[in-house]
Protein backbone atom coordinates (compact mmCIF):
# COMPACT_ATOMS: atom_id res chain seq x y z
CA UNK A 1 0.00 0.00 0.00
CA UNK A 2 1.28 3.46 -0.84
CA UNK A 3 2.23 5.35 2.34
CA UNK A 4 3.82 8.51 0.94
CA UNK A 5 1.53 11.27 -0.17
CA UNK A 6 1.27 11.41 -3.95
CA UNK A 7 -0.41 14.82 -4.29
CA UNK A 8 0.15 18.23 -2.71
CA UNK A 9 -3.54 18.46 -1.79
CA UNK A 10 -3.83 14.94 -0.38
CA UNK A 11 -5.31 14.61 3.11
CA UNK A 12 -4.47 12.19 5.92
CA UNK A 13 -6.64 9.07 6.19
CA UNK A 14 -6.10 6.12 8.53
CA UNK A 15 -8.01 3.26 10.14
CA UNK A 16 -8.79 5.29 13.25
CA UNK A 17 -10.53 7.96 11.15
CA UNK A 18 -12.50 5.36 9.19
CA UNK A 19 -13.69 3.68 12.39
CA UNK A 20 -14.85 7.02 13.77
CA UNK A 21 -16.70 7.90 10.58
CA UNK A 22 -18.46 4.55 10.38
CA UNK A 23 -19.39 4.56 14.08
CA UNK A 24 -20.77 8.09 13.94
CA UNK A 25 -22.80 7.75 10.74
CA UNK A 26 -23.60 4.04 10.45
CA UNK A 27 -23.80 2.72 14.03
CA UNK A 28 -25.21 -0.62 12.80
CA UNK A 29 -21.73 -1.33 11.42
CA UNK A 30 -19.67 0.14 14.24
CA UNK A 31 -18.54 -3.25 15.61
CA UNK A 32 -17.25 -4.51 12.26
CA UNK A 33 -13.46 -4.64 11.79
CA UNK A 34 -11.83 -2.01 9.59
CA UNK A 35 -8.71 -3.01 7.65
CA UNK A 36 -6.66 -0.99 5.16
CA UNK A 37 -6.63 -2.48 1.65
CA UNK A 38 -3.16 -2.58 0.04
CA UNK A 39 -3.38 -0.62 -3.19
CA UNK A 40 -1.30 1.45 -5.59
CA UNK A 41 -4.36 3.58 -6.32
CA UNK A 42 -3.79 7.30 -6.40
CA UNK A 43 -7.08 9.09 -5.70
CA UNK A 44 -9.04 7.06 -3.15
CA UNK A 45 -8.19 5.18 0.03
CA UNK A 46 -9.87 1.80 0.48
CA UNK A 47 -10.67 0.01 3.74
CA UNK A 48 -12.41 -3.29 4.17
CA UNK A 49 -15.41 -3.15 6.50
CA UNK A 50 -16.35 -6.55 7.86
CA UNK A 51 -16.35 -9.50 5.44
CA UNK A 52 -18.41 -8.08 2.57
CA UNK A 53 -18.14 -4.28 2.46
CA UNK A 54 -15.54 -1.64 1.61
CA UNK A 55 -15.18 2.01 2.60
CA UNK A 56 -13.95 4.25 -0.22
CA UNK A 57 -12.68 7.70 0.74
CA UNK A 58 -11.37 10.38 -1.64
CA UNK A 59 -7.82 11.44 -0.86
CA UNK A 60 -8.11 14.87 -2.52
CA UNK A 61 -10.73 17.41 -3.67
CA UNK A 62 -10.83 16.34 -7.32
CA UNK A 63 -11.53 12.72 -6.33
CA UNK A 64 -14.40 13.88 -4.14
CA UNK A 65 -16.23 14.86 -7.35
CA UNK A 66 -16.60 11.14 -8.13
CA UNK A 67 -18.72 10.15 -5.14
CA UNK A 68 -22.11 11.44 -6.30
CA UNK A 69 -21.54 10.02 -9.79
CA UNK A 70 -20.73 6.55 -8.47
CA UNK A 71 -23.63 6.60 -6.03
CA UNK A 72 -26.06 7.43 -8.84
CA UNK A 73 -24.83 5.27 -11.71
CA UNK A 74 -23.25 2.11 -10.32
CA UNK A 75 -26.49 0.64 -8.92
CA UNK A 76 -28.08 1.18 -12.35
CA UNK A 77 -25.18 -0.41 -14.20
CA UNK A 78 -24.59 -3.47 -12.02
CA UNK A 79 -27.47 -5.61 -13.37
CA UNK A 80 -26.38 -4.93 -16.96
CA UNK A 81 -22.72 -5.92 -16.64
CA UNK A 82 -21.19 -9.41 -16.92
CA UNK A 83 -18.83 -8.95 -13.94
CA UNK A 84 -19.35 -7.71 -10.39
CA UNK A 85 -18.84 -4.02 -9.61
CA UNK A 86 -18.71 -2.17 -6.24
CA UNK A 87 -22.34 -1.15 -5.79
CA UNK A 88 -22.71 1.63 -3.17
CA UNK A 89 -24.65 0.65 -0.05
CA UNK A 90 -24.44 3.96 1.82
CA UNK A 91 -23.13 7.50 1.41
CA UNK A 92 -21.16 9.13 4.18
CA UNK A 93 -20.84 12.84 4.85
CA UNK A 94 -17.98 15.08 6.02
CA UNK A 95 -17.32 14.60 9.73
CA UNK A 96 -14.56 13.97 12.26
CA UNK A 97 -12.31 16.43 10.44
CA UNK A 98 -12.70 14.57 7.14
CA UNK A 99 -13.93 17.09 4.51
CA UNK A 100 -15.56 14.98 1.77
CA UNK A 101 -18.49 12.71 1.08
CA UNK A 102 -17.49 9.03 1.00
CA UNK A 103 -19.00 5.65 0.19
CA UNK A 104 -19.62 2.26 1.70
CA UNK A 105 -19.73 -0.29 -1.13
CA UNK A 106 -20.21 -3.96 -1.63
CA UNK A 107 -16.88 -5.79 -1.49
CA UNK A 108 -15.93 -7.37 -4.82
CA UNK A 109 -14.06 -10.67 -4.48
CA UNK A 110 -11.27 -11.71 -6.83
CA UNK A 111 -7.53 -11.68 -7.46
CA UNK A 112 -5.94 -8.50 -8.78
CA UNK A 113 -4.44 -8.97 -12.22
CA UNK A 114 -0.76 -8.68 -13.02
CA UNK A 115 0.64 -6.45 -15.75
CA UNK A 116 1.18 -8.32 -19.00
CA UNK A 117 1.01 -12.01 -19.78
CA UNK A 118 -2.73 -12.44 -19.42
CA UNK A 119 -4.41 -14.91 -21.74
CA UNK A 120 -7.06 -14.90 -24.42
CA UNK A 121 -9.88 -16.01 -22.10
CA UNK A 122 -9.38 -12.94 -19.94
CA UNK A 123 -9.02 -10.69 -23.00
CA UNK A 124 -12.35 -11.91 -24.36
CA UNK A 125 -14.09 -11.46 -21.01
CA UNK A 126 -12.76 -7.93 -20.57
CA UNK A 127 -13.77 -6.99 -24.10
CA UNK A 128 -17.28 -8.32 -23.46
CA UNK A 129 -17.46 -6.24 -20.29
CA UNK A 130 -16.49 -3.12 -22.23
CA UNK A 131 -19.07 -3.89 -24.93
CA UNK A 132 -21.79 -4.34 -22.29
CA UNK A 133 -20.81 -1.06 -20.64
CA UNK A 134 -21.04 0.74 -23.98
CA UNK A 135 -24.59 -0.52 -24.50
CA UNK A 136 -25.99 1.01 -21.29
CA UNK A 137 -28.31 3.97 -21.82
CA UNK A 138 -26.47 7.30 -21.60
CA UNK A 139 -29.43 9.58 -20.91
CA UNK A 140 -28.30 12.16 -18.35
CA UNK A 141 -24.78 10.75 -18.22
CA UNK A 142 -21.76 12.94 -17.38
CA UNK A 143 -19.41 14.10 -20.10
CA UNK A 144 -15.64 13.98 -19.57
CA UNK A 145 -14.31 16.67 -17.28
CA UNK A 146 -12.41 17.31 -14.09
CA UNK A 147 -14.44 14.67 -12.27
CA UNK A 148 -12.90 11.89 -14.41
CA UNK A 149 -9.64 13.53 -15.48
CA UNK A 150 -10.92 13.97 -19.03
CA UNK A 151 -11.06 10.25 -19.85
CA UNK A 152 -13.11 9.90 -23.04
CA UNK A 153 -12.44 13.39 -24.35
CA UNK A 154 -10.89 13.80 -27.84
CA UNK A 155 -7.34 12.42 -27.68
CA UNK A 156 -5.81 15.53 -29.24
CA UNK A 157 -6.70 17.49 -26.10
CA UNK A 158 -3.94 15.51 -24.36
CA UNK A 159 -1.29 16.86 -26.72
CA UNK A 160 0.09 19.65 -24.53
CA UNK A 161 0.49 17.67 -21.32
CA UNK A 162 1.81 14.66 -23.24
CA UNK A 163 4.57 16.65 -24.91
CA UNK A 164 5.51 18.34 -21.62
CA UNK A 165 5.78 14.90 -20.03
CA UNK A 166 8.01 13.68 -22.86
CA UNK A 167 10.31 16.65 -22.29
CA UNK A 168 10.44 15.85 -18.56
CA UNK A 169 11.56 12.29 -19.38
CA UNK A 170 14.54 13.24 -21.54
CA UNK A 171 17.32 10.77 -20.79
CA UNK A 172 14.96 8.22 -19.21
CA UNK A 173 13.18 7.00 -22.35
CA UNK A 174 13.73 7.10 -26.10
CA UNK A 175 12.04 10.45 -26.59
CA UNK A 176 12.59 10.47 -30.36
CA UNK A 177 10.70 7.20 -30.77
CA UNK A 178 8.02 8.28 -28.30
CA UNK A 179 7.39 11.56 -30.12
CA UNK A 180 7.04 9.68 -33.40
CA UNK A 181 4.58 7.24 -31.82
CA UNK A 182 2.54 10.05 -30.27
CA UNK A 183 2.50 12.01 -33.53
CA UNK A 184 1.17 8.96 -35.38
CA UNK A 185 -1.51 7.88 -32.92
CA UNK A 186 -2.76 11.34 -31.98
CA UNK A 187 -3.30 12.04 -35.70
CA UNK A 188 -5.82 9.18 -36.00
CA UNK A 189 -9.30 10.14 -37.14
CA UNK A 190 -11.45 11.45 -34.29
CA UNK A 191 -14.50 9.66 -32.94
CA UNK A 192 -17.69 10.98 -34.57
CA UNK A 193 -20.16 8.44 -33.21
CA UNK A 194 -22.52 8.92 -30.29
CA UNK A 195 -20.70 9.06 -26.95
CA UNK A 196 -20.73 5.79 -25.02
CA UNK A 197 -19.93 4.85 -21.44
CA UNK A 198 -16.23 4.45 -20.64
CA UNK A 199 -14.83 3.15 -17.37
CA UNK A 200 -11.78 5.33 -17.88
CA UNK A 201 -9.30 3.44 -15.69
CA UNK A 202 -9.17 -0.23 -16.68
CA UNK A 203 -5.75 -0.83 -15.18
CA UNK A 204 -4.66 -4.19 -13.81
CA UNK A 205 -5.21 -2.90 -10.27
CA UNK A 206 -8.90 -2.34 -11.03
CA UNK A 207 -9.59 -5.72 -12.63
CA UNK A 208 -10.26 -8.89 -10.62
CA UNK A 209 -10.07 -12.46 -11.84
CA UNK A 210 -11.08 -15.93 -10.69
CA UNK A 211 -10.22 -19.20 -12.42
CA UNK A 212 -8.44 -17.34 -15.20
CA UNK A 213 -11.25 -15.04 -16.25
CA UNK A 214 -12.68 -11.68 -15.28
CA UNK A 215 -14.97 -11.65 -12.26
CA UNK A 216 -14.93 -8.04 -11.08
CA UNK A 217 -14.19 -4.46 -12.10
CA UNK A 218 -13.65 -1.74 -9.49
CA UNK A 219 -12.82 1.98 -9.23
CA UNK A 220 -15.27 3.80 -11.48
CA UNK A 221 -13.86 7.25 -10.74
CA UNK A 222 -13.05 7.68 -14.45
CA UNK A 223 -16.65 6.97 -15.50
CA UNK A 224 -18.17 9.23 -18.18
CA UNK A 225 -19.49 9.06 -21.73
CA UNK A 226 -17.24 9.86 -24.66
CA UNK A 227 -14.84 8.26 -27.14
CA UNK A 228 -14.77 4.47 -26.57
CA UNK A 229 -11.05 4.42 -27.37
CA UNK A 230 -10.45 5.61 -23.81
CA UNK A 231 -11.03 2.04 -22.61
CA UNK A 232 -8.89 0.39 -25.27
CA UNK A 233 -5.68 1.65 -23.62
CA UNK A 234 -5.71 -1.35 -21.26
CA UNK A 235 -4.58 -3.61 -24.13
CA UNK A 236 -0.95 -2.44 -23.89
CA UNK A 237 -0.65 -3.01 -20.14
CA UNK A 238 -2.41 -6.36 -19.81
CA UNK A 239 -1.75 -8.30 -23.01
CA UNK A 240 1.05 -9.21 -25.36
CA UNK A 241 0.68 -8.58 -29.07
CA UNK A 242 -1.11 -11.83 -29.98
CA UNK A 243 -3.64 -11.53 -27.18
CA UNK A 244 -4.20 -7.87 -28.02
CA UNK A 245 -5.49 -9.13 -31.36
CA UNK A 246 -8.08 -11.28 -29.59
CA UNK A 247 -9.13 -8.32 -27.45
CA UNK A 248 -9.44 -6.10 -30.53
CA UNK A 249 -11.48 -8.66 -32.45
CA UNK A 250 -14.14 -8.92 -29.74
CA UNK A 251 -14.32 -5.12 -29.50
CA UNK A 252 -14.46 -4.88 -33.31
CA UNK A 253 -12.20 -1.82 -33.09
CA UNK A 254 -11.43 -0.10 -36.38
CA UNK A 255 -7.94 1.17 -37.21
CA UNK A 256 -8.58 4.73 -36.02
CA UNK A 257 -10.11 3.63 -32.71
CA UNK A 258 -7.24 1.22 -32.11
CA UNK A 259 -4.69 3.96 -32.79
CA UNK A 260 -6.50 6.38 -30.46
CA UNK A 261 -6.59 3.70 -27.77
CA UNK A 262 -2.85 3.24 -28.13
CA UNK A 263 -2.44 6.99 -28.01
CA UNK A 264 -4.41 7.06 -24.74
CA UNK A 265 -2.16 4.33 -23.34
CA UNK A 266 0.94 6.29 -24.29
CA UNK A 267 -0.34 9.62 -23.00
CA UNK A 268 -1.37 8.20 -19.61
CA UNK A 269 1.92 6.35 -19.16
CA UNK A 270 3.97 9.42 -20.08
CA UNK A 271 2.12 11.64 -17.63
CA UNK A 272 2.41 9.08 -14.82
CA UNK A 273 6.18 8.60 -15.02
CA UNK A 274 7.42 12.06 -13.99
CA UNK A 275 4.45 12.80 -11.69
CA UNK A 276 4.77 9.63 -9.59
CA UNK A 277 8.53 9.15 -9.96
CA UNK A 278 9.21 9.47 -6.21
CA UNK A 279 5.88 8.51 -4.67
CA UNK A 280 4.50 5.50 -6.53
CA UNK A 281 7.24 3.23 -7.96
CA UNK A 282 4.82 0.41 -8.94
CA UNK A 283 2.81 2.81 -11.08
CA UNK A 284 5.96 4.15 -12.72
CA UNK A 285 7.12 0.62 -13.50
CA UNK A 286 3.77 -0.16 -15.13
CA UNK A 287 3.98 3.03 -17.18
CA UNK A 288 7.46 2.14 -18.41
CA UNK A 289 6.20 -1.31 -19.44
CA UNK A 290 3.33 0.24 -21.42
CA UNK A 291 5.66 2.61 -23.24
CA UNK A 292 7.88 -0.30 -24.21
CA UNK A 293 4.93 -2.28 -25.56
CA UNK A 294 3.72 0.68 -27.62
CA UNK A 295 7.15 1.38 -29.12
CA UNK A 296 7.46 -2.30 -30.03
CA UNK A 297 4.08 -2.09 -31.75
CA UNK A 298 5.20 0.87 -33.82
CA UNK A 299 8.47 -0.83 -34.77
CA UNK A 300 6.56 -3.92 -35.91
CA UNK A 301 4.18 -1.82 -37.97
CA UNK A 302 6.98 0.20 -39.51
Please state the pTM of the whole predicted model.
0.94
Whole-angstrom CA distances from 168 to 115, 125, 150, 283 are 25, 37, 21, 17
Q: What is the per-residue DSSP string for 102-119? A: EEEEE---SEEPPSS---
CA dihedral sign of residues 197, 81, 42, 61: positive
Note the pLDDT of residue 2: 42
Contact between 197 and 225 under an 8 Å Cβ cutoff? The reply is: yes
Domains of the chain: 15-106 (3.30.200.20), 111-301 (3.90.1200.10)
Q: Which residues pair with 143 in a beta bridge?
A: none
Note the pLDDT of residue 40: 54
Note the pLDDT of residue 258: 98
Q: How far apart are CA 240 and CA 29, in angstroms?
A: 44
Residues (pLDDT < 70) of the chain are 1-4, 6-7, 39-41, 115-117
Note the pLDDT of residue 1: 41
Q: Which residues pair with 48 in a beta bridge?
A: 35, 54
Amino acid sequence: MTTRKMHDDEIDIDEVLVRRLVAAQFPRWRELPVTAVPSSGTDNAMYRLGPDMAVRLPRRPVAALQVAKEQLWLPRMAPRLPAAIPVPLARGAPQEGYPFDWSVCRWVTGETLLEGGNGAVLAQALARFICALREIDTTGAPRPGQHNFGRGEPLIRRDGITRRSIAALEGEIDTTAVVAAWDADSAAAAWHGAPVWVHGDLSAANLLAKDGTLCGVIDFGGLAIGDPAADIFVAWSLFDRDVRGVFRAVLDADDASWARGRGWALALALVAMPYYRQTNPPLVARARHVIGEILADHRDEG
